Chains A and B, each alone.
Chain A
Amino acid sequence: MVFRIRRLAMASVAVASATTLVAGCASGSGGSTSGADGNTLTLWTHNAGNSAELDVVKKIIKDFNGSQDKYEVKLQAFPQTDYNSSVVAAASARKLPCLLDVDGPNVANWAWGGYLDPIDVSGSEVPLTDQLESTVGRYKDKLYAFGFYDVSLAFFSRKSVLNAYDIRIPTMDKPWTKAEFDAALAKLKKSGKFDYPLEMGTGGTGEWWSYGYSPQLQSFGGDLIDRGDHKSASGTLDGKNSVEWGKWFSSLAAKGYIAKKSAADPNPDFLAGKSAIHWDGSWNAAKNADKFGDDLAILPPVDFGDGPKIGGASWQWAMSSSCSNKEGAQAWLKFSRQNKYFVDYAKATGTLPATEAASQQVEGYEPGGKFNVLVRFAREYAQVRPVTPAYPYISTEFEKAAKDLLAGADPEEALGQAAKNIDNNLKTNDYYSG
C-alpha cells in the first residue's frame, strides 16, 4: 500500500516538475526548422476563396511532384482575410511552411521580421529581368519574392449607360477630372435607376481597402506616409490633400453614390446592372466582357489633381527562413518559373502577366487586344505601396480610417488619428531599424 502511495506521489511530482521545468526554462533553444517533413514540403497560399487561381497553384504542384521523385509539395489554402495573421502567428511559432505566398507590400515587413529568406532563381526558364518591376519583391537589395502577375485597377462601365446620361467617356489622354466624375455620379444618382451608381467594393476586407483606395488618396496629392524617410505619417496622411480625399470619400457614402457596405463579391451586382460604374480589378475584366461585349467600357482612374493612380504589386511567392529543406523549396520556385505558368496564371485569374512574352500569349492582353489598356494602366499609373516594414500596420490603420469615413467620421479627425497611431508605431519599433 505504502509503495502504491509513494508511487502515485512520485508520479505526480514528476508530472508537476516536468510542467514547471517546461515553464522554468522558457528561453533558450529555438532556431529550429519547419515546413518540411524530409522531402515533403508544405506550401501555403491565400487562395482558399479563389478557386481559379488555386487551380493553377495545384497544377504547378502536380507538375512539379510528377517531374521528379525527390520532393513532394503539399498545399494548404487559407481565406485571404486571415492569411496574414496566420503567417505572422506561425512565424512566431517557427512553424512556417517552406513555401508561401505574400502580398507584395508585405514583403518588406516579412523580410525585416525574419520570416523570409532571400531566394535565388537564377537559371530558371524565365529570367527575373524579364519581369515587371512591381512583380519582384526586394528588401534591402535582396530578392525575397517574385510574382507571376500584377493586377490593374480600372473603372468598368457600359458605354450605353454613359451615353444615355450624356457622360463623356474618358481616355488615357483625357481622364475624368474630379468635377466631371462628381457630376457624372450626381446625374446617375438622380436618374433613380441605380440604388448606388458607383460600386467601390466596400464589402471587401483587409488589404483591399489600401489597395483600392490609397491610390485615390495619392491622386489627390496625399499619401499614407512621408516617402522621403518613411518615418512619419503626420503631415502626410492627415495633410491638406489627404483630408480633401477624406472629404470626398466620405461624401460618396453620404450622398448615396456608393454603398457603405456592398456585397462581399460586388461583381454580380454590376453584371446585373445594379450599379453603373464599378471600381474593380482586372480579374473581373473577362467576366465583364463576356456579359456586356462591346458595350463594356474599361476606363482609366480619375485624375484628382496629381494624375491618375492605381496600386502596384500583387501576390508573390517566397521561401520561409525556417524552411528545413531550402534546396527543395528553391527547386520548386525555379520549376514554377516557366513561361506557361505565367500564361496560366494570367488566363485563370484575368490578371496581367508579369512578362512581355506571356502577355503576347494571353488573349486580349496582347498589344491592340481589348484588355491591353489594363496593361497600359499598370505601366503608367501604378504606384507601389510604401516599401517599409511598417506597411502592414499602416494598412490596418488606413483601412480603419477609411471605414470610419464611410460611416460618417470627421475626415480630419479620422486621418489625424491614423497618422498619430502610425507615428507611434514607428517610434515604438525604433523605425523598424532592427
Chain B
Amino acid sequence: MLAALDRLRPVRRTRTTSARRRESLTAFGMATPAVALLLVFLVVPVALAFALAFTDARLISPTPARFVGLRNFTRLFDDPVFYKSLRNTVYFAAVVVPLQAGLALVLALLVNAKVRGVNFFRTVYFLPVVTSMVVVSLLWTFLYRQDGLVNRVISTLTFGHFDGPDWLGDPATAMPAVILMSVWQGVGFHMVIWLAGLQTIPAELYEAADLDGATRWDRFRHVTWPCLRETRTFVLVTITIAAFSLFTQIRVMTQGGPLDSTTTVVHQAVHTGYDQQQTAYAAAISLIFFVLVLAVSLIQRFLTRERD
C-alpha cells in the first residue's frame, strides 16, 4: 500500500504543486485588497497614534513636526479636564452597561413569550436603533428643555407636584440625561442579541424544569441565565466598547458642558485635535484611550474565559 503510494507521489506532486501555487497566488490576490485597506486605514493610523503622540504635529503649521518626547503626556496628566473626561467615560460605561444589558434582557424576555403581537413589539422596541444618533440627540435636546416634553410629562404624572430640572443645563443631571437617552436608543439592538441567545435554549430544558415544579424565577435562574453565558459575554463586551466611545450625543447636545460634567475621552480628543488643531495632543489622548479599551476588553475576555 505504502509502496504503491510512493510510486504515485512524484506524478501527483507536480500536479499538486502547480495547482497549489495557483491556489496560493489566487488567494493572495483575493485577500490583498482587504488586507491592504486594513493596513492603510487601520494599522497605520493606530501606529501613528503612537508616533504622533511624541511629536508636536499640528493639523496645519508652517513649521514641520518635531519629536518632543513625553511632553504631551506630562501636559495631559496635568490637565484636569482629562481626568474629568476619564471619570465621565467610566461613569457612563459603569451605568450604561448594566442598565442597557439588563433592560435589553427584560425586553427580550417580554417579546420571547408566545403571545399575540410580539413581532409588533419587537419592531417597535427596535425603531430607535435604526434612527441615527445625531437625530436622536437633536430630538432629545428638545425633549429635555426646561419647558420640554419630558418635564411636562413629569409634571402631569405627579399632578404638578414636581418640576423637572433643566436637564442638559445642570451639571448634576446632564450626564444622567445623556445616559437615559443613550439607553433608549441602543437597547433594542441588544434585545435582539439576547433574543437570539434565548432562542438557542432547547425547549426540553424548560420542560424538565416544569416537571420538577420550578417557579418562573427558578426557570430563569437555573435554565435561562446559565444558557446565556456566551451571549452575555458578547453583550457586555459590545456595550462596554460602545460606551467608552461616547461622542456623538455629547457633541450635539452639550459639547462637554456644563462644567465639564459630560466631557468624555473621545470628545476631548476631537475638541483638542480638530477644534483646536493640536493633532499631537489628541494623538496622546487617543493612545491612552486605545490602551484603556484594549485593557478593558482583555480583562472582560479573561474574566469570562476563566469560567470555562
Contacts and interface: CB of A to CB of B under 8 A. Distances in A.
- Binding between chains A and B: yes
Interface string B1-41: 00000000000000000000010011011101101110110
Among A12, A112, A393, find the residue whose CB has the most chain B CB atoms closer than 10 A. Answer: A12
B155 interface: no
A163 interface: no
Given A13-B28, A23-B44, A113-B62, A407 B278 contact: no
A113 B61 contact: yes
Contact of A13 (B29, B260, B274, B277): B29
Contacts of B68: 428
Contacts of A15: 32-33, 36
Interface in A406-434: 406-409, 417, 421, 424-425, 428-430, 434
B80 interface: yes
A260 B169 contact: yes
Interface residues of A, number: 43
A251 interface: no
B29 A11 contact: yes
Contacts of A88: 59-60, 277
A169 B63 CA distance: 53
Nearest to B27: A9
B149 interface: no
Given A88-B59, A88-B60, A92-B59, A8 B276 contact: no
A333 B169 CA distance: 44
B165 interface: no
B28 A424 contact: no
B60 A92 contact: yes
A421 B81 CA distance: 11
A315 B35 CA distance: 48
B176 interface: no
B148 interface: no
Contacts of A6: 25
A121 interface: no
Contacts of B60: 88, 91-92, 113-115
B254 to A, nearest CB: 11
Interface in A103-118: 112-115
Contacts of A406: 258
A326 B37 CA distance: 38
B80 A417 contact: yes
A434 B62 contact: yes
A403 B255 CA distance: 11
Given A89-B59, A425-B278, A434-B63, A12 B257 contact: no
A32 B259 CA distance: 43
A331 interface: no
Name the residue among A9, A13, A393 with the largest chain B CB count within 10 angstroms: A9
Determine the main DSSP class of A at the interface with B. Answer: helix
Interface string A1-21: 010011011111101100110
Contact of B26 (A8, A85, A260, A261): A8
Interface string B150-167: 000000000000000010
Contacts of A47: none
B260 A404 contact: yes
B275 interface: yes
Nearest to A403: B257
A349 to B, nearest CB: 27
B307 to A, nearest CB: 42
A13 B32 contact: yes
A383 interface: no
Interface of B is mostly: helix
Interface string B116-133: 000000000000000000
A253 to B, nearest CB: 11
B75 interface: yes
A274 to B, nearest CB: 13
Given A11-B29, A13-B28, A407-B171, A112 B62 contact: yes
A433 B15 CA distance: 69
Contacts of A11: 29
A403 B169 CA distance: 11
Contacts of B171: 407-408
Contacts of A404: 257-260
A430 B29 contact: no
B222 interface: no
A24 B35 CA distance: 15
Contacts of B71: 428
Contact of B274 (A16, A22, A85, A425): A85
A396 interface: yes
A430 B37 CA distance: 37
A277 B278 CA distance: 39
Contacts of B276: 392-393, 396, 425
B17 to A, nearest CB: 14
A13 to B, nearest CB: 6
A36 B169 CA distance: 44
Interface in B275-295: 275-278, 281
B56 A428 contact: yes
B63 A430 contact: yes
Nearest to A259: B169
Contacts of B277: 88
Interface string A85-109: 1001101100000000000000000
B257 A407 contact: yes
The 10 closest A-B pairs by CB, nearest first: A9-B29, A12-B29, A16-B32, A407-B258, A92-B60, A434-B63, A407-B259, A434-B62, A16-B36, A19-B36
8 contacts: A9-B28, A16-B33, A85-B274, A260-B166, A260-B258, A403-B257, A407-B259, A425-B278
Given A396-B275, A403-B258, 12 more contacts: A6-B25, A8-B30, A9-B29, A16-B35, A20-B40, A92-B59, A261-B169, A404-B260, A408-B171, A409-B259, A425-B276, A428-B71
Interface of B: 22, 25-26, 28-30, 32-33, 35-37, 39-40, 44, 56, 58-63, 68, 71, 75, 79-81, 166, 169, 171, 257-260, 274-278, 281
